[in-house]
Structures are given as structure tokens and as C-alpha cells.
Amino acid sequence: MQMNRIDRIQYLAVDFAGSPCSSQGFTTRHEGVSRPPYNSLNLGLNTQDQQSNVEGNRSLLARAFGLGQEALVTPRQTHGVDILVINEPNEDYSHFLTVEGDAVITNQPGVMIGVCVADCVPILLCDPEKRVIAAVHAGWKGTAGKLVAKAVAGMKAEFGCHPAGLQAAIGPCIQKCCYEVDAPVKQAFVQSGIAWDRFAQLSAEARWQLDLAAANRELLLLAGLSPDAVQTSDQCVCCRSELFFSYRRDQEEAGRQMGFIMLKA
């Protein structure tokens, strides 16, 4: 991954081998129209930023890649494990904005799918052969619920994708250095059969530093992806206040960045 810029959008670009995509990456907080404390490219519809600012920012992102805003799809995220599948063309994709889900899978070209994050893990998936893509939002609840593995299974069930042929990119998120969690999080991971001790380090009594990115990478490997096919950003959104939003750092004053991906038309 490397920092790139197109039009007014500065983003961390992802390079998938043999990619059928025209764009994929992870936005930064720069070059939008939102004012402090949401400055400036806040893409989150569920923040306290002015709606007109968020709509303007989403329009900037869509236009930078030759789209109208109606072709930018992010589901209404709930920190759950529901998946939105788009398997047929739509004249206007904006109605999907009200559909609850924390992952999107599609085989439709010319529609940009994405997930909004402010600490959680954004994950992009691509099958170059079947021309199928996915975007996944994995906080601790989604990770404990193995959402990214369910997205891989969904790509296989809906479109015949082979996990060994998939490529993945795990974007900037809160890293272990800044992410302390408590006993209910540990319990959720253990109940799901995730190897807690591999990803969490005891920091105080009943408190742990958790590596969400590493846990999701492991889930991808267990789902059948090749280690060489999984890219991981090591940037901590909580540490990098000049580049990224972070809810852990800024609470209600945090905007949202986006992991986005689109198949070529």
C-alpha cells in the first residue's frame, strides 16, 4: 500500500495482482469540506457533523473516480455480522444506505462499495478471476463474530469464489499500542474459538492490549487465503491524528474514513 492522490482525494492505495478493479483503497481525513473537529474528509453519515458536509465529502470521493454519489454504497453499520449482497444492476444504489450490515459483497461493475471506520478494521477482498469484491467493517464485535470469514464464505456461496484465489487488504485501524479492552471482549473472543492469547497482551488487571488487525489476518488465513495474498497496514489511526480519525482518541468529535473498492465498468 502507498499513499496516492486523485483529484482532491488523498488515500492509501491498494494494489491487487491482476485486479479487475478501477479503484480500491483507504481514505485519509484530508481534502474534504467538513470543519473542525471533523476536518475535513469526514465520510460518516452517523456522526454529528452537518449532513450537508458529509454529503459533499461523499460526492467528492465518488466524483474523483468518475461516479455520481448514487453509485457509492455503504450499508448502515451496526457492529453486527450481517452482509449485504448486490448481485444485479441498479439505476440508483442509494437505497442500500438504509440496509443494515457490516459487509458488502458485489459482482456489479461501476458501483463503489465501502465501509466507514474510526478505529475498527476496514478490510477489502477481491477475486480477480470471478470479478467479485467485498468490503468488511470489523470492530471487536465483528472480529469476535468472525465476520471477515463469513464474507469469504459468502463470496464462495453466492458467486463460486475460491478462497485460495482471493486477495485481501487490511487497512489502517487502531493498533495494539492504543487499544486496551476489558473482560467482556476477551469472553466474546474465547467463546468464538479465537486464540485470544495470540492477539492480546495483559496490560493491567482484567485489561488487555488487543491486536484487531492480526486477529482478522488470522481469520482470513483460516478461511483459506494464502499468506502472500493478505496485505496489512501497520498505521495506527489513534496515533496518526494528522492522517486519520479515531473514536478512541476523539470520541463524539471523530469523523470517519472509508475503505472503498469498485470493479471496472
At 9-64, the pLDDT tens digits run 999 999 998 888 888 999 999 999 999 999 999 999 989 999 999 999 999 999 99
Distance CA 67, CA 60 (A): 9
Q: For residue 76, how many other CB atoms are within 10 A of its CB?
A: 15
Mean pLDDT (the chain, rounded): 95
Q: Do 61 and 79 touch, CB atoms closer than 8 A?
A: no
The ranges assigned to domains in the chain are 2-172+213-263
> Computed from CA positions of residues 243, 196, 165, 262, in that sequence, does the dihedral angle turn out positive or negative?
negative
Query: pLDDT tier at 69 (50, 70, 90 boundaries)?
Result: confident
- pLDDT band, very low/low/confident/very high, at 8 (cuts 50, 70, 90): confident
pLDDT beyond 90 at 265: no
The reported pLDDT for the residue numbered 95 is 83
Counting residues of the chain whose pLDDT is more than 90, the rounded percentage is: 86
Rounded CA Rg of the chain: 17
Cis amide prior to 19 (ω within 30 degrees)? no
- Model pLDDT for residues 91-147, shown as the tens digit of each residue: 778 888 889 999 999 999 999 999 999 999 999 999 999 999 999 999 999 999 999
- Stretch 232-242: mean pLDDT: 96
Fold held by 2-172+213-263: CNF1/YfiH-like putative cysteine hydrolases (3.60.140)
Position 102 scores a pLDDT of 96
pLDDT at 76 over 90: yes
Residue 246 has pLDDT above 90, yes or no: yes
What's the full length of the chain, in residues?
265
Over range 228-238, report the average pLDDT: 96
**Residue 163 pLDDT:** 97
> What pLDDT is attached to residue 234?
92
Question: Cell 469523523, residue?
Answer: 255
Per-residue confidence (pLDDT) for residue 19, from 0 to 100: 87
- Is-contact 112 93, C-beta < 8 A? no
Q: What is the pLDDT of residue 91?
A: 78
How much is the pTM? 0.95
pLDDT tens for 172-188 read 999 999 999 999 999 99
